[in-house]
Amino acid sequence: MTSLPLLSLAIWVPILAGILVLFTGDDKHASTARWIALLGSLVAFAVTIPLYTGFNFADGGFQFQEGFSWIPTFNIHYHLGADGIAVPLILLTSFTTILVVIAAWEVIQKRVAQYMAAFLIMSGLMIGVFSALDAILYYVFWEAMLIPMFLVIGVWGGPNRVYATIKFFLYTLLGSLLMLVAFIYLFYQTNSFEIVDYYRLPMTLKVQVLVFLAFFMAFAVKIPMWPVHTWLPDAHVEAPTGGSVVLAAIALKLGGYSFLRFAMPIAPDAAHYLSGFMIALSLIAVVYIAFVALVQQDMKKLIAYSSISHMGFVTLGFFLFNSIGLEGSIVQMISHGFISSAMFLSVGVLYDRMHSRQIADYGGVVNTMPKFAAFAVLFAMANAGLPGTSGFVGEFMVILGALQKNFWFAFLASTTLILGAAYTLWMVKRVFFGEIANSHVAELVDLNKRELLILSTLAILVIGFGVYPQPITEMTHATVAQFLDHMAHTKIPAGL
Amino acid sequence: MNGLQTDLIAALPELFVLSMAMFILLADLFLKPSNRIVIFLLTQITLLGAAFITISTHNPSVSYAFSGMFVDDSFADVMKLMIYLSTSLFLVYTRAYITLRGMFRGEFYALVLFAMAGMMVMVSGQHFLTLYMGLELLSLCLYALVALDSDNARATEAAMKYFVLGALASGMLLYGMSMMYGATGSLNISEVASALLNGSQDKPVLVLGTVFIVAGLAFKLGAVPFQMWVPDVYEGSPTAITLFIGSVTKLAAFAFVIRILAQGLYVLAIDWHGMLMIMAVLSIIIGNITAIAQTNLKRMLAYSTISHVGFLLFGLMSASMNGYISSMFYIVSYVLMTLAGFGMILLLSRKGFEAEQLDDLKGLNQRSPWFAFMMLITMFSMAGVPPTLGFYAKFAVLQAALQAGFLWLVVFAVLMAVIGAFYYLRIVKLMYFDEPIDHTPINNPPEMNMLLSVNALALLALGIMPQRLMDICAYAIAHSLQ
């Protein structure tokens, strides 16, 4: 084990790289900005690798801990640590940032330095969310992350970007502020902002339900769960490709992760008490949103709804309270990170050439872009949950978990295998196959080296984790066991 | 003789500022207009000297002067230092602006120093009359400052409004004070407090007195329902003066409230905290919702001030040590944010052009990415988004209110904060997402550019490391209030 503050490095390297990129100034030095950003993201990824290699798989608690007193007045600490759930997500974050930087290489021509800097800083902040063990530290990262995302959507987004980005910001802020109230409340119960202290705090069911609901508001918006999902399609459609990738691959995971870090272990009895409600919302997301996806005309919107539907699986797995369901959820989160990145990048490839995301504008793309079509079909299959891709593993595990609990949960959840296939493959059919639809499609040029590099990396990961998901499950196993053990004990004080 | 000496030492900063103000008024007569920069420098030296005196005579104990009418304690010292600092920034930000508008005169600086002396008396007053004298000294200077540009009809109208309503508020305050005198037999804050502790007074008189005092204070702070003057005066005054009214004087108003409510009438907290609660809630609602509809930046910031005052009252209404410390932290943060916010308007203004419409900020990121970023920090700080100082300010007052048991009010306040975030975001939207309509280069004295940047970056730096500032506020309050 090294004594390097690995988590601090993982947070601050990208942030400092981002600030450095900002100093390259205007677009005259765009290429310098790009190279510094690439270098920064590679270094930032490199410093997160020891988190995997140095991870103790038998330990379900927090590892790589570091900390010092930050604001003694309120007993706030700069306390970091990561467990088996956080580390895969941290790796996912630092990896995705590289993809985003490369994906923007020629595409972004306007205010390049600011774009790259926003993504690097955001990456550091999101890793901060995944590794903070102090509630206020966590909250600072969680909120601060909104600022770069707000700018990314607003500056480089589509025509309706202002509406989308303000909606995104306000929706998220509303939820988070209620969470802040819950934190302050818990502070006055424990005189501490340490998350671990909250785990041990006994509370009556009524209080637990209120605390849980405050957290629920914050995280349900972020994941997003039905019915507070409406910001996501707007944000996705208007965001530039990189923004969509980060939103889908990582930002949504912040919500999922936070359920496991805060809402459930702090209020376990409320989590059990409300599990029927949560499962119902999850299943509505899985089934209803899948139908909504079916009728979309806009490719990005379709993928956005597909994301919501897949995140419904994640929350479903959380509230089954069995290990296979929970591990399935975590695998699903990681896998969705790859698949949704790939899908959005694929749409980006088309959009850069045609400047349209409407399915109706395409048709027969396979004739002009055969290599690209091969990738697109692979990712679509993965999105639909084809066995052998990572999309299958998570969904299958969650369905198995649901089956242990209730046949009908599993039944409803499995409809997604059909519906997911329906909306994804139908889109692929309309975009890629058939006759060449118009002269624009006829002029399309196949993937360049840069695009090929990104998409093939993702393809390898999607198939790799589909065949061999052990690296993720091994890592999460001990943490999940400990988590479920914690959840199984009531926190209601005796006599109440 | 010895008694007089202690009296004079306690009031040394005030005496120094007053003498310098008179000296500047005289010196101005002998200066050619081209050399007027000397006046500016002299004023800055005065501030520096006053800060030096305040720091060197500082000690943690409380010393009374002039038969207990005047107090020199840690709270007063810290607040005075904040007043010097913010006045100094204010003078730097406004120099170019007032020069271009023909207000760069000796009177301007003398009036500012007199106003500052008034504020210092408000901060150190330990007697209703001392406090009132300080307040009037400040107010009269402010009326004159607002109307200083006498050809400006809007400013004259604003000054008129400010004067009439200000006089009314002072009247209410005096009336309340006289009732307190009637009930307790004293005008001295400490004596009033100890008389109230005995609790033999006529309750209705006390309550009525409290109502009038709170109404007067609320007027000075600009809390709803006494907020009517705020948007008009903010909009009508020359931006330089708006900056002064919106930032520095709020420090004095806050100290004034602390002296009267927390020190004098703390026994009656049960009566006034309900009033503050209602005003806090109303201020947050009206401030935030009305701000959305504004197209004038100064007016928008005026409503934003009202909602900030609401949050400030959240800290005060807790009527606890924690609450006072939190609200002091809030007001200091607020002043730093306001200085940066109005500083930016001054930065974008030029001869014959007031950058006071929201649209004037359009595309600032393309005209000057650096200052757009500074404004971005300021706006997010005002909205209370971490990692900026504004977040800790809101955090501090909300935790104080929650500690006092106002859970649902806190939930309400955070919901309103989301509405508030909207209009700050709109400014960021204008700066970053829109194309500029005005391409004039931004040209200002280098010292202004530098200090404004430091000011805005301080919001970020203090947001990352807020502990020092919290310590200072805790120190000031803990060593001064029982």
* Whole-structure pTM value: 0.90
Q: How confident is the model at residue B2, as a pLDDT? A: 63
Whether B421 and A71 lie within 8 Å, measured CB to CB: no
Query: Which residue, A417, A431, A347, A426, is CA-closest to A384?
Result: A417
d(CA B334, CA B86): 11
Both tokens assigned to B333:
């943060």
> Can you tell me which residue has the tokens 């500022």?
B17
Both tokens assigned to A430:
């309309």
- Cα(first)–Cα(last) distance of chain B, in Å? 30
Q: How confident is the model at residue A453, as a pLDDT? A: 87
Interface test with A, best of B321, B324, B329, B385 (most A CBs within 10 A): B385
Q: Taking 70 as the threshold, does the pLDDT of residue A442 lie above it? A: yes
Q: Taking 60 as the threshold, does the pLDDT of residue A402 lie above it? A: yes
Determine the residue type at B453: S
Q: Taking 70 as the threshold, does the pLDDT of residue A495 lie above it? A: no
d(CA A281, CA A286): 9
Q: How confident is the model at residue B1, as a pLDDT? A: 46
Digit-coded pLDDT (tens) for A45-80: 888 888 888 888 888 788 888 888 888 888 888 888
The answer to whether residues B375 and B364 touch, using CB atoms and an 8 Å cutoff, is: yes
Instruction: Report whether the peptide linkage leading into residue A88 is cis, meaning its omega lies within 30 degrees of zero.
Output: no
CB contacts of A151 in chain B (<8 Å) are: 428, 432
Q: Taking 80 as the threshold, does the pLDDT of residue A182 lie above it? A: yes
- Cα(first)–Cα(last) distance of chain A, in Å? 46
Q: Which residues contact A93 (CB under 8 A, 6 or more apart)?
A: A123, A126, A127, A130, A250
Q: How many residues does chain B have?
A: 482
Phi, psi of A40 (to 5 degrees): -60, -45
The stretch A130-146 carries a mean pLDDT of 91
Q: Taking 70 as the threshold, does the pLDDT of residue A2 lie above it? A: no
The answer to whether residues B258 and B189 touch, using CB atoms and an 8 Å cutoff, is: no
CA distance A162 to chain B (A): 7
Whether B399 and A162 lie within 8 Å, measured CB to CB: no
Whether B395 and A188 lie within 8 Å, measured CB to CB: no
Q: Which residue has the higher pLDDT, A405 or B128?
A: B128
d(CA A123, CA A13): 10
Q: How confident is the model at residue B332, as a pLDDT? A: 93
Cβ of B364 under 8 Å from any chain A Cβ? Answer: no
CA distance B477 to chain A (A): 14
- Long-range own/partner contacts, residues A22-30 (CB < 8 A, 24 or more apart): A22/A113, A22/A114, A22/A117, A24/A113, A25/A113, A25/B369, A26/A111, A26/A113, A26/B369, A27/A109, A27/A110, A27/A111, A27/A112, A27/A113, A29/A113, A30/A109, A30/A112, A30/A113
The stretch A282-309 carries a mean pLDDT of 88
Cβ of B62 under 8 Å from any chain A Cβ? Answer: no
Q: How confident is the model at residue A423, as a pLDDT? A: 87
CB contacts of A181 in chain B (<8 Å) are: 398, 402, 407, 410-411, 414
The answer to whether residues A221 and A263 touch, using CB atoms and an 8 Å cutoff, is: no
3-state secondary structure of B125: strand
CA distance A46 to chain B (A): 26
Whether B432 and A26 lie within 8 Å, measured CB to CB: no
d(CA A396, CA A329): 10
Min mean pLDDT across A128-132, A354-358, B92-96 is at: A354-358
Determine the residue type at B307: S
Instruction: Quote the DSSP letter at residue B67.
Output: T
Q: How confident is the model at residue B148, as a pLDDT? A: 87
Beta-carbon neighbour count of residue A397 at 10 Å? 24
CA distance B321 to chain A (A): 13
Both tokens assigned to B259:
């002296």
Burial label, A113 (beta-carbon count in 10 A; 0-12, 13-18, 19+): buried
Whether A178 and B414 lie within 8 Å, measured CB to CB: yes
Q: Taking 70 as the threshold, does the pLDDT of residue A373 lie above it? A: yes
Give the orientation angle of helix A407-432 with respect to helix A299-318, to 10 degrees: 160
Whether A181 and B391 lie within 8 Å, measured CB to CB: no
The stretch A197-218 carries a mean pLDDT of 88
Residues with pLDDT less than 50, chain B: 1
d(CA A315, CA A422): 22
Digit-coded pLDDT (tens) for B5-35: 878 888 899 999 999 999 999 988 888 888 8
Q: What's the mean per-residue pLDDT of chain A?
A: 86
DSSP letter string, A321-356: -SHHHHHHHHHHHHHHHHHHHHHHHHHHHHHHHHS-
Please name every residue paired with A71 in a beta bridge, in sequence order, or none if there are none. Answer: A76
Q: How confident is the model at residue A1, as a pLDDT? A: 45
Digit-coded pLDDT (tens) for B201-215: 788 888 899 999 999
